[in-house]
Amino acid sequence: MMHTFPHDRRRHLRRLERARNTLQESAIALTIAGSDSSGGAGIQADLKTFSALGVYGASVITALTAQNTQGVQDVHAVPPDFVAAQMRSVLADLDIRAVKIGMLANAAIVAAVAEGLADFKGPVVLDPVMVATSGDPLIDAQAVETLRARLLPRADLITPNLPEAAQLADRPIARNEGEMEAQAHVILQLGAKAVLVKGGHSEGPEAVDLLVTPGGSLRLRASRIVTKNTHGTGCTLSSAIAAELAKGAALPAACHAAKAYLHGAIAASERLEIGQGHGPVHHFHAYW
């Protein structure tokens, strides 16, 4: 017996079928980062981004935060040996195609992550999370030095915002694209294979990011969206790049696609109305 369905339901069933097929064939990406109890940044943002882009997400949690849209109230760092145990467990079983690294909290955790990735052959995207959107510090000074020495040489891409790039390059915050590119070259000399300096903290009608490699630079631009809903934007961009790399995209194409995805997520953020401070972006803006 043949059943007929309203047009909307047939369309919904086709969408579900496509989603099932995509999931069955999807690549796997791993996020190594802290947990955001409000769901807008960190591990939660990364897994939402992976899912929205058709990639299966696995996670290694490095820290627990008591956090909401108004700030970070407390941080509990996961013991480094347990971070290492999570990495061994996941990497021994899952076919991880790309890794995104976020908040690492302290030097011992940075070292554990570096050691855990010693035999990993896929691309690594390092988001040097140092300060939350609210301004709260998320990493100590010794951890920054260990990150420079142990993880920068392992990163295929590092994605600092303007304050983070300045701190890594030991220079004042860049005031223009020339200074952004100059700081990126300093970071390249520390061992990173490519640097994406994010211009979200700059001013003007466009938000311009610079992808800088030893072979040249690529300018990525998007219209600036005026909104307070910027919680988790850095996590979302870096995990979107990792998702595209896991699917086999080349680095420039992955950065282009990730910026377009984030732009759409920021533009749709007003639909969510989450919290009383810096709200999250809308990771599933294409679906609901």
Catalytic, out of 234, 236, 255, 259:
234
pLDDT for the residue numbered 220: 94
pLDDT higher for 12 or 131?
Answer: 131
How many C-beta atoms surround the C-beta of residue 210 within 10 A?
Answer: 22
Q: Is the pLDDT of residue 90 over 70?
A: yes
pLDDT for the residue numbered 206: 83
Residues 6+ apart with CB under 8 A from 171: 179, 182, 183, 186
- Written out in words, the top-level CATH class of the domain with range 27-271 is alpha beta
Domain boundaries, the chain: 27-271
Interatomic CA distance for residues 161 and 31, integer angstroms = 19
Cβ–Cβ under 8 Å, residues 182 and 166: no
Give the neighbor-by-neighbor strand order of the sheet with 124-126. 71-77, 56-68, 28-36, 96-101, 124-126, 157-158, 195-197, 206-213, 216-223
Among 17, 201, 41, which residue's Cα sits nearest to residue 132? 41
What is the residue-averaged pLDDT of the chain?
Answer: 89
Catalytic, out of 48, 100, 198, 247:
198
> Does 235 participate in catalysis according to the annotation?
yes
Catalytic, out of 62, 69, 213, 233:
233
> Does 230 participate in catalysis according to the annotation?
yes
**What does the pLDDT look like over 258-270, one tens digit per residue?**
999 999 999 999 9
Catalytic, out of 133, 232, 255, 279:
232
Interatomic CA distance for residues 198 and 63, integer angstroms = 24
Query: Hey, what are 154's tokens?
Result: 């392992």
> Does 232 participate in catalysis according to the annotation?
yes
Cβ–Cβ under 8 Å, residues 142 and 148: no
Interatomic CA distance for residues 46 and 205, integer angstroms = 27
For tokens 């988790």, name the residue: 232
Q: Let me know how many helices (H) and strands (E) the chain has, helices first.
A: 9, 9
Query: Euclidean distance between the first and final Cα of the chain, in Å?
Result: 33
Greatest extent of the chain over all pairs of C-alpha atoms, in Å? 72
Dihedral pair phi/psi, residue 47, rounded to 5°: -65, -35
Q: Is the pLDDT of residue 3 over 50?
A: no
- The pTM of the full predicted model, rounded to 2 decimals, is 0.89
> Does 216 participate in catalysis according to the annotation?
no
Query: Hey, what are 13's tokens?
Result: 């069933």
pLDDT higher for 40 or 5?
Answer: 40
